[in-house]
Amino acid sequence: AQSVTQLDSQVPVFEEAPVELRCNYSSSVSVYLFWYVQYPNQGLQLLLKYLSGSTLVKGINGFEAEFNKSQTSFHLRKPSVHISDTAEYFCAVRSPSGTYKYIFGTGTRLKVLA
Amino acid sequence: GAVVSQHPSRVICKSGTSVKIECRSLDFQATTMFWYRQFPKKSLMLMATSNEGSKATYEQGVEKDKFLINHASLTLSTLTVTSAHPEDSSFYICSARDLGGGTGELFFGEGSRLTVL
């Protein structure tokens, strides 16, 4: 079975400061990894994904994430955050084959302070 | 990217009534759509996988008679909450996979907030 752990439920950070949102996963098989952002009362928007290849993945809005197989991690980073980055961020995994069933973490609320 | 639209975005209903939520893929065909439920400050819980032209596959613990799913075409799936009760109040989100896409990305709708009085 696969699982995703986002240890930080909330991360406050000042505007223009760097941020890292942590994601660890557990799986007995290889996985695809995703980060999604959710703004209040909206659906999820894909920030970035890792399928294969380079372990450093760049996404939209200046976000990037690094896949670390040995540590089973896929942490999300941004060097300088904006007020508009305040949102809920979800890490997700799915198996490359099969049913396209995604497993989501519990989410991390990023709050950017002025 | 592909667009998935949900309607209505908000619905308030009385206890005991049924509510239908639509999920449409606007610019692509989706043989498979997924329905999620999100509790306040919680993650998304997969409720069921909706397959075009066949019965939905429900996750363990989800009442198939309460949450009726119909996937009548390649662009439309509906979730009907039957005999809704206050505990069914939640944020429901659908997602779809682009048939022509091989990257594994799901496209999500904007969500529908159901409030049962």
DSSP string spanning A12-45?
EEETTS-EEE--EEE-SS--EEEEEEE-TT--EE
- Phi, psi angle pair for A58, to nearest 5°: -105, 140
pLDDT of B101 over the 80 cut = no
B59/B10 Cα distance (integer angstroms): 25
Q: Mean pLDDT in chain A?
A: 92
pLDDT of A48 over the 90 cut = yes
Q: What is the pLDDT of residues A75-111, one digit of tens each?
A: 999 999 999 999 999 999 988 776 678 889 999 999 9
Contact A43 B108 (CB under 8 A): yes
DSSP state of A84: G
Residue B97: what pLDDT? 82
A41/A52 Cα distance (integer angstroms): 32
Interface test with A, best of B26, B32, B43, B90 (most A CBs within 10 A): B43
For residue A102, the chain B residues in CB contact (below 8 A) are 34, 46, 106
Helix (H), strand (E), coil (C) string for B64-91: CCCEEEEEEECCEEEEEECCCCHHHCEE
Q: What is the largest CA-CA distance in chain A?
A: 44
| Closest CB to B49 among A43, A99, A109 | A99
Residue A102: what pLDDT? 87
Residue B8: what pLDDT? 96
Residue B30: what pLDDT? 86
Contact B46 A102 (CB under 8 A): yes
Size of interface A-B (CB pairs under 8 A): 57
Residues B116 and B89 sit within 8 Å (Cβ to Cβ): yes
Q: Mean pLDDT in chain B?
A: 90
Residue B67: what pLDDT? 97
For residue B91, the chain A residues in CB contact (below 8 A) are 41
pLDDT of B105 over the 80 cut = no
A29-53 in b/e burial notation, b at 16+ Cβ within 10 A? eebbbbbbbbeeebbbbbbbbbbee
Average pLDDT on A40-55 reads 89
Distance of CA A17 to the CA centre of its chain: 18
Average pLDDT on B74-83 reads 95
Average pLDDT on A13-20 reads 98
Q: What is the pLDDT of residues B17-45, one digit of tens each?
A: 999 999 999 988 888 899 999 987 778 88
